[in-house]
Amino acid sequence: MNVYRNYINGQWLESASEKTALNINPADVRDIIGTVKFSTRGEARGAVEAAYNAFKDWKNTPAPTRGKIVARFARLLEGDQENLARMLTREEGKTLAESRGELQRSINVAEFCAGEARRLNGETIQSELSANFAYTIKEPHGVVAVITPWNFPVAIPVWKIAPALVAGNTVVFKPAEATPATAVRICELFEAAGIPKGVLNLILGAGAEVGDEIINHAAVKAISFTGSTATGIKLYEQAARRGAKVQCEMGGKNPVVVMKDCDLDLAAESTVSGAFGSTGQRCTATSRAVVVDQIADEFVRKIIEKAEQMRIGDGADSTTEMGPMVDEKQFRNVLKYIDIGREDGAELLTGGRRAPGENLENGYFIEPTVFDRVTSDMRIAQEEIFGPVLSILRVKDFDEAMLVANDSQYGLTSSIFTDDPNLIFRFVHEIETGMTHINSPTTGGEAHIPFGGVKMTGIGAREQGSTALDFYTELKVVYVDYTGRKREGNLY
């Protein structure tokens, strides 16, 4: 049995902990992939200390040299793409096509960040005083904690670790409990790329223990977290007490607004792919369709037709369009929300139960589920379900659509389907989300384009793109007086 090990100070170490969990293929629970040991708080402190001790040398390593290691990692990731994609599907459940896409995004991000190592520029600034000038330098924080969820277990760690390293920080990486295999592989590839010992450390274990230990450790100067809003806000409170920098990307409840003048087939197809792609287990998933009354019946008919045609199964099968829930906890949670939707009076149009069928009985499969006549006050319209459940909210016009779309504590992404340019610009102006899409699904992003949300979804600098390194650097301002005498003027 494969027992996953921690990677601390350049060594692969098995945890001494007695607490373990099995890593199980969610498409077939008889397929045991390995055993994860829940590391101790002491081992977590060891990982932080290794990162702390490695920081000075890494900071003093020229940024382009740091970038070369990240570039080598990108090439190794490319060489390992198919292997890692299959590992990801087996561990997390998404389809192989989705896993390959996630790997491609990760390669793109690593390439982008490697290039940023040659652009770690500050600015020179003219002073008010003669024979004086000022400039800025971007410097690393020190030890950065990277805490990640299970739903994009390759891409999210890469889009945090790569910029953190390029900026000159050392890293303690704490992946989600459910996805240890992919986390180990990422670190193996960084090791093969030549990362010096202690610069990147992996600690496997429970969020409430090793995660808690890391975020409260005085040597950890910054924390980049992606996960649920409940965990993120708690972490933010704790880190604030000791002044640590925090970046949190959290939950979503992403709306698509469907207007009467749109291409209805395109809107339905995009909504189905946004709602049920990755089994609805992505932060950018479409969970609310806000539809004007005039076309609602026809839109709903098209959605149901497409949802019922989806092929559910093991992601490793090339014909599968939707895989399982990641684990039993998520499986039960989604079924619980389906019950809540029924109890709150929403109209269940399709799905709503464990998916029946040959070869599905040993996995955590749920049918694509659509509720109609959902109202904004219902829990299924407000709370993140994180599964293949779409709520249809009917509205009379654009103004009501905007009220409903914005009636959420979350603000990650959104989209609108309309051919009216005035409505498009009004939508972009009024929608309260960090990202938005016009006539395309709520999902998707690119390595060189910033990513993140507002309201209870996002705290701190945006990830990726031109802002990828913002969170991982401090700005130092330098004043140089080259008069050689006492300052004559005053600076206020």
The residue ranges that bind ligand NAD (CB under 6 A) are 147-152, 174-177, 207-208, 211-212, 215, 226-228, 231, 235, 249-252, 283, 384, 386, 412, 453, 457
**Six-digit token pair at 105?**
């995004």
The residue from 98, 283, 367, 463 that is catalytic is: 283
C-beta of 28 vs 249, nearer to ligand NAD: 249
Pick the closer one to ligand NAD by CB: 198 or 207. Answer: 207
Instruction: Write out the E strands in 369-427.
Output: 369-372, 389-395, 410-411, 415-417
Least distance (Å) between residue 314 CB and ligand NAD: 22
Instruction: Exactly one of 177, 249, 321, 384 is catalytic; name it.
Output: 249
Judge contact between 198 and 10, C-beta under 8 A.
yes
Is position 283 annotated as part of the catalytic site? Answer: yes
Give CA–CA dist 453/481, Å, rounded: 42
Alpha-carbon torsion, ordered 423, 425, 431, 435, to 10 deg: 130
Say if CB 20 and CB 4 are below 8 A apart. Answer: no
Query: Which of 39, 351, 344, 295 has the alpha carbon at shortest distance from 172?
Result: 39
**Minimal distance, residue 69 CB to ligand NAD, in Å:** 25
Is residue 284 within 8 Å of 152, Cβ to Cβ?
no
Between strands 369-372 and 347-350, the pairing is: antiparallel
Q: In the sheet where 458-459 sits, what is the strand order? A: 11-13, 6-8, 200-202, 170-174, 143-147, 220-226, 245-249, 458-459
The answer to whether 67 touches 116, Cβ cutoff 8 Å, is: yes
- In terms of CB distance, is 98 or 384 closer to ligand NAD? 384
First to last CA, the chain: 67
Cβ closest to ligand NAD, residue 127 vs residue 382: 382
Please, which residue, 80 or 384, has the CB nearer to ligand NAD?
384
Please report how close the Cβ of residue 26 comes to ligand NAD at its closest, in angstroms.
Answer: 14
Q: Which residue is nearest to ligand NAD (CB)?
A: 207
* Nearer of residues 168 and 280 to ligand NAD, judged by Cβ: 280
CB of 108 to ligand NAD, least distance (A): 16
**CB of 382: closest distance to ligand NAD in angstroms?**
14
- Cβ atoms of 463 and 146 within 8 Å: the answer is no
Supply the residues annotated as catalytic: 249, 283
